[in-house]
Structure 1
Amino acid sequence: MHTTKIFIKKNKIGNYLKHAREHYIRDDIYCGFESCDKCTRATSNLSSKHVNKCNLLKNNHYLILDTNVILDQIDVLDENVIGNVIILNTVLKEVKHRNMPIYKRLISIIENPSRHFYIFVNDFNKGTYLKQELTELINDYNDRCIRKACSWYIEHIPDETFVLLTEDKNNRAIAQQEDIPAYSIVEYVQNLTANENLIDKLAKKEFQEKFNAADIFPPHLTIVEIDKGIKDGRLHQGTFRASRDNFLEGSVNIQSFEEDVILRGYSNLNRVIDGDVVAIEVFQKDQWVSPSELVLEDDTVNALDDNLERKELEISKQRTSKKNIKPTGRVVGIIKRKWRQYCGILQEGSAAVYHLFLPADRKIPKIRIETRQAETLKTQKIIVAIDSWPRNSRYPNGHFVRALGKIGDMKTENEVILLEHDVPHSQFSEEVLSCLPKLPWLITEEDEKVRVDLRGIDICSVDPPGCTDIDDALHCRPISDDKLEVGVHIADVSHFIRPYTALDTEAASRSTTVYLVNKRIDMVPDLLSSNLCSLRGGEERFAFSCIWEMDHNANILNTKFHKSIIKSKRAMTYEEAQLTIDDKTQTGSLAESLRNLNKLAKFLKKRRMDNGALVLASPEVKIMMDSETHDPIDVEVKKLFETNSMVEEFMLLANISVAEKILNDFPDCAVLRRHPEPPALNLEPLVKAGKHLGFEINIESGKKLAESLDQATRDDNPYLNTMLRILATRCMLQAVYFASGTFQKHEFFHYGLAVPLYTHFTSPIRRYADILVHRLLAVSCGADATYPDLMEKKKTAELCQNMNYRHRMAQYAGRASVALNTHLFFRGKIQDEKGYILYVRKNALQVLIPKYGLESTLYLGKKDEKLDIFTYNEEDQTQRCADVVFHAFDPVTIRLSMDSKNIQHEKFVLQLVFPVIEGFSVPPLEDVEMPEPEIPHKKRKK
């Protein structure tokens, strides 16, 4: 049988259209019980062997859940104690609509046979289907459907007990009136016979009355009030970003303002957490302030702590520079929370069952949780979720999710890094692995017919030492006296990863390979990343080749693309390739190929620089590990060779050539990469720093900026230019992937590379964007067929959004891994090192130590204590003490040690060695050479 639903909808021109939608009702939908002789048998994970024991009920029973129980208590449902659960299709659809991550977690539980969860399609079952009343709210309708399904089960399987768990008091009362056993999830879990520590995992919206103190924060506006305020122009919407240096400050990006709006002080922040979408009220201009120059850490314990009040007072008294004021405001409401699960530790000294949790991410506030496992958990890294943040609590309320492992254990610490940066790192599922080719994998005659055979050409790869995911190789050979053939050969990963497969879905979700110190989280399974797709020396592999004809000045005469079969003659490191080029006794074809590639690369690089490409900088660090213990034994800045630049130039050229091809053939759905020009405001710190040093940094164009940076050198400070470039890097906007049909042509420009078009084609083993580009290029070349999603602009844009997010998180995770291992290396060490001042703050100096690529803070006085001996000049951003003046980029010598008292946030402690300031500096260690005394000094040429 079927029913017909009628929908009346108003169209764009004001006419009303009637839509009829049929809803089929069946009487053969399986209830899930093996003992049932009324239903047609199908697969079910429900089991009479699993027993739910609860003191509220005498018998074993089956659970039926409402939507909010799943949304709020998924961490409880994750536990094996809970089993024989019936998930109604009505509830499943609502969970999917309201929270996709929780929906995915629920599906993984349902698909696990040992958990005994079963989906009952109640909305198509003749005995449980209900028609929605015309005036009935959707929530009331769903509750009625759930109660109807419960009653049906009670009647259908009279020998079993069925219990409804619902958080809605009204729904619970109605269910009990209808003779349905109904309880809240909290009540049920508290009475479980084997609840173990399950109570700790209950999401708690409010804590006990003992915490119901006076309000600390103003109330948030309702969504209705927020909507009205935004429409009236009184309020503004934006995403909150917490300051890394000052827990009492943050900012919100708003489209109608050129600059971010500053939020300062606990009351004005009003319970906002990094990433939340908020409604803010912007103050009148006479109340605007300049960004704080203070570096503040939240080390307070509770809302009444004098320390907090002192810090609030200190930041409120900060003098505001009229030249540097920014729009300022306060949070009046929350539009969308960006809460997630957080890693961290319990704070020492907490009492009873209520404890403060310290998140690893400094931008997240402490969280109050309830746990009876404190003695066990205080030595563990744990995961906590936020449930609520009442007005009367300085901290949000949350609940314990699970323990990760011992604090300080490297496996645990790496897990924290991956979780904190939302890096998918579970093992590949059987469904994904089933998509892989079977070994031994062999090239067939059919493969040879559709690919260009390049196995006879001297091709080689050049990569970092120990690289196993080799996705690019090169060749260069003369084809006449005045012409060279140059090839970039990229692993043909798209041959193995086909659209709409589980392998493709997983690769798209992960989007990128993540590199930690001594650990790699692959985007694709190891069989592909380190074997079949890796262009290893001496092995036949499938490739996608970009071939140019060039003259000896690197001018491109012709370009072609095709799929190929290659056999790399050798996999070389950058250093090996450099030695081969420099060793004139090596005259073989590989050596000549590398020399020609290196010569051509220099022409390509000069041309890029002449066009205005930027050479930026960031301190890249290499951690040397002990082969047995895997402990860090040395930290050094990575050494670069000419061959690094050689490979980079040809990868850039291949990416540019492919971008031109795919955009020409697919103007709406080409996957490209753009780097927006930074607004002048972003570059202000760079311009100011240059001005203080006596250099004019011209930011009219990328080319002018590049020229300015090239000229900003000083003989007495050889590292100054590198620091300026580091600062310039931090002023840039991020490069992002996008679908060509979503931007105007002039917005495609890549500012850093100074090219009108760019994409990523050269690393498909570790970037999903490159796989999409390979598919587009294959269609362009006639080497593969298209598929619907590839030509869908909206779908491509969604994939780009995820790729941008995953790429950013992978970068942060990599940096966090380097920081962790650097901290391990410095534990127990005290040494003096040469450094340079990167920023001058009101109460601190940010110091860069080039030898280790480290950046840390030298506080100008004891923590939370003002030192009168230093005078901060906000106009020229200097700190003065008697005859010593600290400017940005001045060299200093510092004493470097590690403070491990806070096991959650180990940090470097810096002390000044030179210049010598009586009562503040420490004497040097004997083996450190003192820098020349001219800088810093009191006289500096303007």
Structure 2
Amino acid sequence: MLKSRTFVKRTRKGNVIKVIKEHYLRDDIWCSVEGCEKCKQEKIHLSCNPRKTKLSEFPQLIIPDTNIFLHQIDIMEHVAFTNVIVLQTVLDEVRGRSLQIYNRIKTLLEEVPKHFYLFSNEHNRHTAIERLKDETMNDRNDRAIRTATLWYNIHLKTHPNGQITVLLISDDKDNRVKAQQEGIKACSMAEYVEQIDDYPELMDMVVYPSEDDTNDKKFTYEEHMTPVQISGGLKAGLLYQGSINISMHNYLEGTIMANIDGEETQILISGRGSLNRAIQGDTVAVKLLPKEEWKTNASKIISNDDEKEEEEEEEKNNEDETMKDGNEKSEEKENEEVSYTEKPIPTGKVVGIIKKHYRQYCGSIDKNTVQKTTNHNATQNILVISMDRRIPKIRIRTRQAEALMGKRIVVAIDSWSKNSLYPFGHFVRDLGDIGDRNTETEVLLLEHDVPYMPFSQQVLNDLPPEGENFTISEEELSKRKDLRDLDICSIDPPGCTDIDDALHVRPLENGNYEVGVHIADVTHFVRPSTAMDREAAKRGTTVYLVDKRIDMLPELLGTNLCSLRSNVDRLAFSCIWELTPDAEIVNVYFTKSVIRSKASLTYEEAQNRNDDKRMNDNITKSIRILNGLAKKLKKKRLDAGALTLASPEVRFNLENDSQDPVDVEMKELKETNALVEEFMLLANISVAKKIHSKYPESSLLRRHPTPPQNNFDVLIAAAESVGVKLNCSSSKELADSLDKAIVPGQPYFNKLIRIMTTRCMMQAVYFSSGTVSEKDFWHYGLATEIYTHFTSPIRRYSDVIVHRLLAAAINYGEGYSTDIIDKIKIQKICDVLNFRHRMAQQASRSSVELFTNLYFKDRVVEEEGFIIRILKNGFIALIPRYGIESIIYSEPNTKNVSKQIFTYDAKENKLVSEYCTFKIFDRITVQISIEETGVGGISSKLSMKLVKPFVPGISVESQNANKMNDEELNEIDDEIRNKIEVIKEEEEAQKTSSEPALKKRKVA
């Protein structure tokens, strides 16, 4: 059945055109309920035995309306929710309002055990409706939902297994009233879950439409502007738009980047009132404050432990005034700048939130907000402290308050009213005990949005059906260059199972060398637009944690069929050069190939072969030639201005059974690390040139922007204070001055300044070549005009796209989707990859932090460190031995010392007291331990306390602070030896008569 309607509309150019919209209605859109004899359905989605509750005497299928999915999606994903009918009307509405929730619903529809079914009510002849005259679109959609629900109830009234009720769930009271008037059973989400006894936690997961009873009347934020006002302000240049980034050291301080007078500038937003309910990641509209209110101070550290004091001050400021006025009076105390500078930086306040960035947050209950009650199931309003220090406390309702104490939980933010100090949210799930390694690992994965769930069956279905017995077909071999006779080998870290790359070299008759880099041909197995391809694109990268990795591809591919193991045939994509003995490129070509690696070596094994003159087999000779060429390639890069930076990376030695850290050591780099790196860089550059020559508008490339000069201001000033001059005018000048940055008597200084230089760099990013001018392709760190990622397709999706581009560029195979020549689609892929790459890096660092805390549990050690950043009320110290850094407060840590010990000198960026002065690069000694933190000690963190130089009030007592002479130490040793002798005597006495021995110990 075909319905059509005609209407006219005006185009952007002002032309009026006639549009005919056709709407097809069908009789063969089935209910999908198991056992239904009216429908000739091929596939069943809904069980004929749905849940039965007190709301009806019959088993119930449920139909949620649009707002239920938009606001209650967390509860819909709970295992308790099965046999759910998702109407096309609802899915289309959700898609238009939240693409993120739309994708979550699509995932639910694909999960077989959930029994979620998409019913195309808009195309079913019995349920499709037309919009009435003067009816709003919202009312029309509500009516469409009720119509479909009524049809289901009539349709299933005579089901062979007995009547099945279809229940409409809506939090819209008017919609429920209309449904009941039409003979449809309807209830709110809260009413529905109250009837489910098996899952008591469901009540905590309900999002309530109002939070008026939790408002803090003493706190009032400024009203947000309307979208129309914001739009007008942005167009007039009175407001600035940006994504807010909250300081990791001060949760009352944030910044956005905005274009002011044609220059990209950082705007500081300082204080609770100025932040005005903006949360990390929100897209906000900001109004600049008058110039006389711009800030020039260094950042002050504020932690959750300081929050009580801050709240009390806020209350005091709000007794007679609004939050806005109170904030203006107390701003001097809450200051506030992201980095040291003498020049005031623009300061503003949030006047509206354009796009909220609410997500699920991991945290713990603030036990001081839990009331002790005899009714353990009583509902309480409590506060949750987020693991992310940039997020404010979140108020939730729960009946599990006491049970959840000492647990890591997941919560979500629902809303934040202007007269509530904290946002209001709901409980999502319990992760496990605080401090448990597995729980804390799951927390860091969730906090960094790392997809870590097992691969779905749809993804696994895309694997070769032969599994581990997969063999390369003769047809495939005929299309590829056979390189199995070459002496190819791989060089990787110890324990590496996902081997992406291998190398070979052989002398040519003309005196030159043929050098090949062979990369796993992942795209042979991961085809475009398959479930596996979509999952790999979603994950973006493999994430490496201390004790595990979260793979981008299923294990069968990553560690087997695609891994370039030795002595097995493998499919590869090869980049092969002719190089002169001086490592000059004569020519390069690319080919799909089949290889058979002769050896899988670790860096250490390859280094030993290189150094052992007694070894002269073909693989060893190849390593020596490659090593010689790599040194020449590296010299060329460094001469061109490539940087050699550093990071304080450590490696944990884990106990085999428990996986607990038993030792920590700095990672050691060998010559063979550089050997592999040089040829991977060369391959990436060569491939980048090739794909860009063929696809100048849609190549996936990687650039490293030149950092602005003011990024180096603090470092340059600090270096000058120790007699080192840094020239940061170009990467070449910077590289040369870093080579000369040596302080006599401080062998670690050069590495330290390279570590700090790394912190001044911009983030390298993926981009589509058609979206950026060619002059901006420049990779600052590598000093190359063009670059991409080609060499790690097992663990990076960027490389998968580049392989497809390269295959198309050399006209290999049947061709690829037109998506790879669409610059907008490539840029969207790049945006996701940049986010995933950043989150993977942060997750890896958090994993190191977690295992560092585990390592120092029950340990207290003293170690030498260096100051790497000065703040107004403290400094950040780096400890090279363990590759860790932490804040040391310069304020008193004892109630007996009430005065400020240090004064911050803004001009010279240092902390000054009568005892000593602290500057960047200063050497200190600290005591490292783990201490309980947070309200009520709900978490633990690495703590550093100053030991040397000794400063009363902030130092800890130690042997370094209060040294004993040899005579005193000998006396202590004698005392210990005497006690040991007494204990031994008691044990001997106990062998003959336990009673006298016990009496003797009591007397003693």
Q: Would the TM-score normalized by the shorter structure come out above 0.5?
A: yes
Whole-Å Cα distance in 2 between the matches of residues 552 and 595 of structure 1?
Answer: 13
Q: 1:644 to 1:113 in 2, by over 3 A?
A: closer
How far residue 860 of structure 1 moved from its aligned partner, in angstroms, is: 1.4
TM-superposed deviation, 1:882: 2.7
- String of CA shifts for 1:889-915, please: whole Å, max 9, x gaps: 111111111113446542222222222
Distance 2:812 2:772 in 1: 28
- 3-state DSSP of counterpart to 1:129: coil
Give 1:417's match in structure 2, choosing from 429, 436, 444.
444
Matched AA of 2:892? K
Partner of residue 279, structure 2 = 273
Per-residue deviation at 1:853? 0.6
The residue number in structure 1 matching 2:211 is 207
Are 2:567 and 1:508 equivalent residues in the alignment?
no
Q: Which residue of 1 aligns with 2:904?
A: 872
How far apart are the structure 2 equivalents of 1:277 and 1:682?
24
Cα gap change, 1:801/1:134 in structure 2, threshold over 3 Å: closer, same or farther? farther
- Residue 566 of structure 2 aligns to which amino acid in structure 1? G
Contact 1:216 1:393 in 2 (8 A): yes
2:816 alignment partner, one of 777, 786, 789: 786
1:144 aligns with 2:148: no
Question: For residue 434 of structure 2, what is the amino acid of its counterpart?
Answer: I
**Matched residue, 1:107:** 106
Q: Distance in 2 between matches of 1:303 and 1:278?
A: 28
SS of the residue 2:732 aligns to? helix
Aligned with residue 168 of structure 1, among 168, 172, 181 = 172
Please report how far the alpha carbon of residue 81 of structure 1 lies from its aligned counterpart in structure 2 after TM superposition.
3.5
Pick closer, same or farther for the CA change 1:920–1:506 going to 2, 3 Å.
closer
In the alignment, structure 1 residue 196 sits paired with structure 2 residue 190: no
The amino acid across from 1:908 in the alignment is L
Is 1:917 equivalent to 2:916 in the alignment?
Answer: no
The aligned residue for residue 937 of structure 1 is: none
Taking the aligned partners of 1:322 and 1:532, their CA distance within structure 2 comes to: 54
Contact 1:69 / 1:166 at 8 angstroms: preserved in 2? Answer: yes
Residues 227 and 255 of structure 1, relative CA distance in 2, 3 Å threshold: same
Cα distance in 2, alignment partners of residues 791 and 469 from structure 1: 30
Give the residue type in structure 2 aligned to 1:264: S
Secondary structure, counterpart of 1:245 in structure 2: coil
The equivalent of 1:939 in structure 2 is: none
Judged with a 3 Å threshold, the aligned counterparts in structure 2 of structure 1 residues 315 and 907 are, in CA distance, closer, same or farther, namely: farther
Q: 1:929: how far off?
A: 12
In structure 1, what is the equivalent of residue 887 of structure 2? 857
Are 1:385 and 2:412 matched, yes or no?
Answer: yes
- In structure 2, the CA distance between the partners of 1:184 and 1:302, relative to structure 1 (3 Å rule), is farther
Residue equivalent to 1:550: 579
Q: CA distance change for structure 1 residues 850 and 303 in 2, over 3 Å: closer, same or farther?
A: closer
Which residue matches 1:649?
A: 678
The Cα offsets for residues 324-374 of structure 1, whole Å up to 9 and x where unpaired, read as: 311111111111110111112112222242221111111111111111112
Moved more, 867-876 or 471-480: 867-876
Displacement of 1:303 after TM fit? 9.6
CA shift at 1:160, angstroms? Answer: 4.5
Counterpart of 1:299 in structure 2: which amino acid? D
1:43 Cα deviation from its structure 2 partner: 3.0
- Matched position secondary structure for 1:349: helix
Within-5 A mapping of 1:238-277? 238-256=242-260, 258-277=264-283
Which residue identity does 1:781 align to in structure 2? I
- Secondary structure of the residue aligned to 1:480 is coil
| Offset at residue 629 of structure 1 (A) | 1.5
* Counterpart pick for 2:393 among 361, 366, 389: 366
Where 1:559 maps in the other structure, the secondary structure is: strand
Post-superposition CA distance 1:681-709 (Å, at most 9, x none):
32322233233333332222221222222
Q: CA deviation at 1:883?
A: 5.7
Q: Does 1:345 align with 2:364?
A: yes
Does 1:752 find its partner at 2:756?
no
Pair 905,262 (structure 1): closer, same or farther in 2 beyond 3 Å: farther
Distance 1:681 1:663 in 2: 33
Q: Establish whether residue 843 from structure 1 lines up as the match of residue 873 from structure 2.
A: yes
1:285: how far off? 0.8
SS, match of residue 845 in structure 1:
strand
Deviations along 1:703-733, whole A, 9 cap, x unmatched?
1222222222211322222222222211111
Q: Report the alpha carbon displacement of residue 76 of structure 1 after superposing the two structures with TM.
A: 2.0
Which aligned pairs between 1:386-401 and structure 2 lie closer than 5 A? Answer: 386-401=413-428
Contact residue 216 and residue 421 of structure 2 kept, 8 A:
no
Shift of 1:224: 2.0
CA deviation string 1:800-859 (max 9, x = no partner): 111111111110100000010011001111111111110122211211100111111111
Q: What is the aligned residue count? A: 929
Change (3 A) 1:718 1:308: farther
Aligned residue for 2:689, secondary structure, equals: helix
What is the CA distance between 1:657 and its match in structure 2?
Answer: 0.7
- CA-to-partner distance for each residue in 1:567-607, whole Å, 9 max, x for gaps? 21111111111111111111222222111111111111111
Query: SS where residue 882 of structure 2 aligns?
Result: coil
Give the alignment of 1:468-507 within 5 angstroms.
468-480=497-509, 482-507=511-536
Counterpart for residue 61 of structure 2: 62
Q: How far 1:319 moved relative to its partner?
A: 9.9
Amino acid at match of 1:757: I
CA distance in 2, matches of 1:520, 1:161: 46
Conserved? CA contact 1:53–1:194, under 8 Å: no
Report SS of the residue matched to 2:781.
coil
SS of residue in 2 equivalent to 1:261: strand
In the other structure, the counterpart of 1:822 is 852
Higher gyration radius (CA): 2
Distance in 2 between the 1:429 and 1:317 partners?
A: 49
Kept in 1, the 8 Å contact 2:34–2:45? The answer is no
Query: How far is 1:248 from its partner?
Result: 1.2
- Give the CA RMSD over aligned residues: 2.5
Would you say 1:51 and 2:78 are equivalent positions? no
For 1:180 and 1:354, the matched residues in 2 are separated by 34
Structure 1's unaligned 5+ residue stretches are 931-942
589-598 vs 190-199, which moves further = 190-199
1:86 Cα deviation from its structure 2 partner:
2.4
Q: 2:333 aligns with which of 316, 341, 366?
A: 316
**553-562 or 80-89: bigger deviation:** 80-89
The equivalent residue for 1:12 is: 12
**What is the DSSP-based 3-state SS (H/G/I as helix, E as strand, rest coil) of the residue aligned with 2:171?**
coil
Deviations 1:387-445 (A, max 9, x none): 11122221111111111122222221111111111111111112211211213122333
Does the aligned pair in 2 maintain the 1:476–1:484 contact within 8 Å? yes
> How far did residue 459 of structure 1 move?
1.4
| Counterpart AA for 1:830 | V
Which region of structure 1 is more displaced relative to structure 2, 309-318 or 561-570? 309-318
Secondary structure of 1:255's counterpart equals: strand
What is the CA–CA distance in structure 2 between the aligned matches of 1:555 and 1:109, rounded to whole Å? 55
Contact persistence 1:204–1:397 (CA under 8 A) = no
- Alpha-carbon separation, structure 2, partners of 1:855 and 1:614: 23
Closer, same or farther: CA 170–358 of 1 in aligned 2, 3 Å? same
Mapping of residues 68-147 of structure 1, within 5 Å:
68-133=67-132, 135-147=134-146
Greater CA deviation, 915-924 or 264-273? 915-924
Partners of 2:253 and 2:336 within 8 A in 1? no
Q: Conserved in 1, the CA contact under 8 Å of 2:704 and 2:763?
A: yes
Which amino acid letter does the alignment assign opposite residue 45 of structure 1?
H
Q: Post-superposition shift, 1:772?
A: 1.2
| Cα distance in 1 between the residues matched to 2:915 and 2:431 | 52
SS at match of 2:286: strand
Query: Structure 1 stretch 418-427 or stretch 708-717: which is displaced more?
Result: 708-717
The separation in 2 between residues aligned to 1:319 and 1:762, in whole angstroms, is 43
% of aligned pairs identical? 46
Structure 1 distance, partners of 2:752, 2:962, is: 23
Q: Which amino acid aligns with 1:226?
A: I
Go from structure 1 to structure 2 and tell me whether the alpha carbon gap of 1:338 and 1:260 turns closer, same or farther (over 3 Å shift).
same
Aligned to 2:976: none
Q: Could you say what secondary structure the match of 1:79 adopts?
A: coil
CA distance in 2, matches of 1:485, 1:477: 5
* Aligned-partner SS, 2:425: strand
Aligned with 1:795 (options 825, 843, 853): 825
Structure 1 length as normaliser, TM-score? 0.94
Unpaired runs of at least 5, structure 2: 158-162, 318-326, 372-379, 965-1004
